[in-house]
Amino acid sequence: MSLYTITQYPTYQPPERPLPTRRNTTADKAPPAGPGRRWDHLELLERIDREGSISAAAAAMGMGYKAAWQAVESLNNRAGQPLVERQAGGSHGGGTALTPYGRRVVATLRRLDEERRHVLERLAAAHGDDDDFDHFYRLLRRFDMQTSARNQFVGRVAGVVRGAVNAEVTLDLGAGQQLVAIITNESVEHLGLVPGGETFALVKASWVILAADDGMRTSARNQLRGTVARCARGAVNSEVILELPGGRTVVAIVTNGSVDALGLAEGARACALIKASHVILATAG
């Protein structure tokens, strides 16, 4: 994976005309409608910037409000710093907007997306009679793996302590936060984990335990403290989104009884406890 030094970012302005939709090659079919659809997150960011509202942006795309928030939270976590931020106040109780960094990201990614489209169109034209082109392009797309883990963080390896079989890997998430994972020494070698290397950490929402932020002692290696941003209540369980310093979020699935007992209302302080053995590490290509 190459790294590019960009000395000057283009100034991004929300499009005045209808937002562009992705043109599809034979091998890049439009995603199906319904629960399995893969949404265009770049378009979502552009619409948030134009509308100043995540609900309006989601409605314009035919996307559910909850799905839009989940996408934004995932993008913020994986970007390393917020692309979208909440804005308080206003006649309608505030809204959402791109951060300056988010605008720079959108401008650059839109240009890259256009270049990608041109390349695919040229390849499809050059190999239009080659049945293998579609097959191998679809094979390449399989490597762009998606994951069901609700919590996805990106950080840099701060340290690796090896034992006889397992190793303790510490990730620096920024904003004074760290995440520790216990994996095998073989996995450390396979992933090429060395201090300073960029690594992804995946944690299922059902593996996150929430506790009152009262300085309690616990054996859980990871303790991430923050403020409840949202709480979506279901028939039995609730999805609680905890906002951490720096704009990252942690999602936990807990029972409604626990929500009530802990007083997990919006704005309440809480601590997310994650066992080191429940943190899955991954690296890019």
Judgement on whether residues 179 and 91 belong to the same structural domain of the protein: no
The pTM (predicted TM-score) of the whole model is 0.68
Output the average pLDDT for the chain.
Answer: 82
Question: Which residues, at least 6 apart from 57, have a Cβ–Cβ distance to it below 8 Å?
Answer: 44, 47, 48, 50, 51, 63, 68
CA distance to 28, 29, 61, 75, 113, per residue, from 32 (Å): 12, 9, 13, 22, 20
Judgement on whether residues 31 and 129 belong to the same structural domain of the protein: yes
Q: Which of 146, 173, 201 is the last residue of a domain?
A: 146
Range of the domain at 44: 1-146
Q: Which of 146, 175, 208 is the last residue of a domain?
A: 146
pLDDT reported for residue 28:
39
Number of folded domains in the chain? 2
pLDDT tens across 214-243, in order? 777 888 999 999 999 999 999 999 999 999
Judgement on whether residues 5 and 131 belong to the same structural domain of the protein: yes
Contact 159, 206 (CB under 8 A): no
Q: Which of 146, 179, 212 is the last residue of a domain?
A: 146
pLDDT tens across 177-223, in order? 999 999 999 999 999 999 999 999 999 999 999 998 877 788 899 99
pLDDT at 159 over 80: yes
Judgement on whether residues 159 and 227 belong to the same structural domain of the protein: yes
pLDDT tens across 16-54, in order? 545 544 433 333 333 333 334 456 888 999 999 999 999
User: How many Cβ atoms are within 10 Å of 51's Cβ, its own excluded?
Assistant: 18
Judgement on whether residues 2 and 69 belong to the same structural domain of the protein: yes
Judgement on whether residues 82 and 223 belong to the same structural domain of the protein: no
Q: Which CATH number do you get for residue 165?
A: 2.40.50.100
pLDDT reported for residue 39:
67
pLDDT tens across 265-277, in order? 999 999 999 999 9
Judgement on whether residues 122 and 172 belong to the same structural domain of the protein: no
Judgement on whether residues 226 and 170 belong to the same structural domain of the protein: yes
Judgement on whether residues 178 and 122 belong to the same structural domain of the protein: no
